[in-house]
Structure 1
Amino acid sequence: RRILKVNRTIRIAAATAAGVGCLAGASSAFATATGSGATFPAVAYQNWCGTFKSCSYTGVGSSAGIRALTAKTVDFAGSDATLTDAQLAAIGGRVSYFPTLLGAITVPVNIAGVTGNKLKLSGKEVADIFQGTITTWNNPVLVKSNPVLKNATGTITLCVRSDGSGTSWNFSRYLTKMSPAFATAISFSQTPNWPASAIKSAGNPGVANCVKSNANSVGYVDLADAIRAGLQTNVTAIGKSELVKQGGKTKRKLVYVLPSAKSIEAAGSIKVSQIKPDLTIDFTGSSNAGAYPITITTWVLAVPGRAKNGEVKGVLGQFYSPEAQGALVGLGFAPLPKNVLNVAKVAASKLG
């Protein structure tokens, strides 16, 4: 058997689809399970489903996936967001969360003459941009850390999601941590109240295309889709507070981190005691050294008692296999931390 090729850089590898074995007693002979939902993990899910031939997955947005699971038109949903009280009530009051991978929400820009990888933005500055408080790239606040923006006179164009989105949910949740003003004006949800001037597009690929198509724009896109859209050199470094040693002393300093497999994995390093019983773990704003601050996990959602949960359990066994987890870096993601993976495997084995 051939294993999917892994490339440990942020550039996408040409992963080879091939039949591989299953873990946890999952059989390759079971009927296909259907899923839909988040576009954030769609690159990985579609690759895995194509490899294992046990599932199909359509990226339509987290909210739409939750609606499909509620309507019983799919066997599992993909979501980067936890259910709201209303969504949970509509689905019958019970849902199980199974984390599948780690990924980064990048902040790509399209500014003439400026390489995004060279830009440095703090979390507060990103919040001010998406709140509409900072409206031009040559704002003195941005120029202070980025002299190259001094002559960037254009008005900033915001590219955001039009659909209910777990990427929006996580991105806006992170920004509420960075800015009390953002928390008050925008808050966080699957459909944040973005400024009226923002251009809205469906899915992560839609936002990536918006950034590519509009001068002076900025958006928020998962790393895998940023790579697929050719935006890997357009994503900015995001600042985070870290304790660093200088002159024999330990000081707190703003450190800027680019999204990569290494920085995503750094954010995913948590203690077993930090793993919530329902596996709804929040990795955003990690204080770990070298961690990319907008790192998230995403979940397969299943409803206990559904008729095809045996098939879903088999799919999860494959998603948690060394072959699947080992392919993630080459697809623009990072594998689950081992302690989280072990807990998730146990939870998946109990799905009935």
Structure 2
Amino acid sequence: MSRKILLASAVVASLVLAACSETSTSSSSSDATGASEVAANLTGATGSLVAEGASSQQNAMDFFNVQYQQAVSGASLAYTASGSGSGRKNFIGGQAVFAGSDSPLADDQVEPAAQRCGGNEAWHLPMVIGPVAIAYNLPGVDTLNLSTATVAKIFNGSITAWNAPEIAAENPDAELPETQISVIFRSDESGTSDNFQKFLVASTPENWDTTGQAFPATVGSGANGSNGVASEVKSIEGAITYVESGFAKQQSLGVANIDFGAGSVELNPESVGVALDNLAFKTEGHNMVVDTEALFASENEGAYPLVLTTYEIVCSAGYDENTRNQVKDFLTVALENQNDQLNELGYIPVTGQHLERLQAAVEAIS
């Protein structure tokens, strides 16, 4: 079993134990009150809800499933982390009730998805949010500020040492060593590489011009998977990578503050929340396909827009009654548990305007 799975399983298990402990120490009257408050928003439909898709959502789905089973006795989620492409394919084919995906339906999948939904539109609900960290290993440098242009120049090989003038100018109070920069990138094809490159193209096009799930192997060295790149950076002084924040946290790596155009911004739930409040969409109504180009190029003060907005792709209508109720119950529970426990798993809880529009969309599923 990989270290990634062991770590994730340990965290999820600790959250389950904590929830059980909390339940056992509460009075029966308070338990009944809490259950009734949750149940008031739920139909109570039972059965196994089958879903499939992005592995990036696996830990979130496991956590939500624990809460779902506690909220609705006799209900559960069976989520297969087979990848976004397989999730979308099997949602369209009717083998999955909904798909978890880091990318929206392709143009040629929109109509088949509508047919699968009984002639109704399939909705994209961006509700599992994974910020991407610029993670580094540089002893003695606890705070690091980098502009988007400097990030691109590091990853394209234009900046090769930690005391380069560009980095020094952005960190006047830091004691930067002469250490050479070791760039670590994903050697496997990944949605993280795709979105990171899209971010660089959108935010600093003069310094980056490639996109795609394969990262160019022209500078630095590759490692497989998110845990692989984070572990590699941990083992190499002077290394840097792009990785989902949860993996940077697990390895106790430094995480750079990024200047997206309005001053350096720390990666935290509040700064990601600002970015989410300012999302633009390519679609209308409750179907929320994020305009990632606009997101990645945004310069809103206090916002951290380098995030993966991964979707639950659902039928807006067309399910049988029990399945519809299960879908709505599960998604309602997921939105009611956007909390610190989810943050511990490396995701950013959705809040504010974005939470409200997701809640409205779930309510509108018919």
TM bucket (normalised to shorter chain) is: 0.7 to 0.9
Q: Which has the larger radius of gyration?
A: 2
Per residue, is there more helix in 1 or in 2? 2
Matching of residues 156-305 of structure 1 within 5 Å: 156-160=182-186, 162-165=188-191, 167-184=192-209, 186-187=210-211, 189=212, 191-197=213-219, 199-231=221-253, 234-242=254-262, 255-270=263-278, 276-277=284-285, 278-281=287-290, 282=292, 283-303=295-315, 305=318
- 2:55–2:82 Cα contact (<8 Å) kept: yes
Alignment of 1:1-352 (within 5 A): 15=15, 16-17=18-19, 21-22=38-39, 24-27=41-44, 29-39=46-56, 41-53=57-69, 54-59=76-81, 61-70=83-92, 72-85=94-107, 88=110, 95-111=122-138, 113-115=139-141, 117-146=142-171, 148-152=175-179, 154-160=180-186, 162-165=188-191, 167-184=192-209, 186-187=210-211, 189=212, 191-197=213-219, 199-231=221-253, 234-242=254-262, 255-270=263-278, 276-277=284-285, 278-281=287-290, 282=292, 283-303=295-315, 305=318, 308=323, 310-321=325-336, 323-325=337-339, 327-351=341-365
Query: Residue 189 of structure 2: SS of its match in structure 1?
Result: coil
Per-residue CA distance 1:253-297 (angstroms, 9 max, x = gap): xx2122112222232333899995321234434433322242443
Change (3 A) 1:88 1:150: farther
For the residue of structure 2 that corresponds to 1:314, the secondary structure is helix
C-alpha separation between the residues in 2 aligned to 1:86 and 1:330?
37
Count of paired positions: 318
Q: Which residue of structure 2 lines up, in the alignment, with residue 246 of structure 1?
A: none
Normalising by the residue count of structure 2, what TM-score does the alignment of the two structures yield? 0.72
CA contact (8 A) 2:129 2:348 kept: yes
Q: Deviation at 1:310? A: 4.7
Which structure is higher in RCO with an 8 Å CA cutoff and minimum separation 6?
1
Deviations 1:125-145 (A, max 9, x none): 112223333344343322333
1:99–1:49 distance in 2 versus 1, CA, 3 Å: same
- Specify whether residues 178 and 343 from structure 1 end up closer, same or farther in structure 2 by C-alpha distance, changes over 3 A only: closer
Q: Offset of 1:345 from its aligned partner? A: 2.6
Offset at 1:200?
Answer: 4.2
Q: Secondary structure at the match of 1:266?
A: helix
Which sits farther off after the overlay, 256-265 or 82-91?
82-91
CA distance in 1: counterparts of 2:233 and 2:126, whole angstroms: 29
Q: Which residue identity does 1:66 align to in structure 2?
A: R
Cα deviation 1:170-190 (Å, max 9, x = unaligned): 322221122213553x13x4x
Mapped to 2, the partners of 1:172 and 1:150 lie a distance apart of 28
- Give the C-alpha shift of residue 74 in structure 1: 3.5
* TM-score, with structure 1 as normaliser: 0.74
Amino acid at match of 1:311: Q
SS of the residue aligned with 1:47?
Answer: helix
Structure 1 gaps, min length 5: 1-11, 243-254
Amino acid at match of 2:289: T
Q: What fraction of aligned residue pairs are identical, expressed as a percent?
A: 24
| Cα separation, 1, equivalents of 2:127 and 2:46 | 22
Tell me the secondary structure at the aligned position of residue 124 of structure 1: helix
1:290-324 Cα offsets, whole Å, 9 max, x none, are: 22242443211235646755533332121122x34
What code does the residue aligned with 1:151 have? E
- Relative to structure 1, is the Cα distance of residues 199 and 74 closer, same or farther in structure 2, using a 3 angstrom cutoff? farther
CA distance in 2, matches of 1:13, 1:159: 30
The alpha carbon displacement at 1:214 in A equals 4.0
Q: Compute the displacement of 1:108 (Å).
A: 0.5
Change (3 A) 1:260 1:311: same
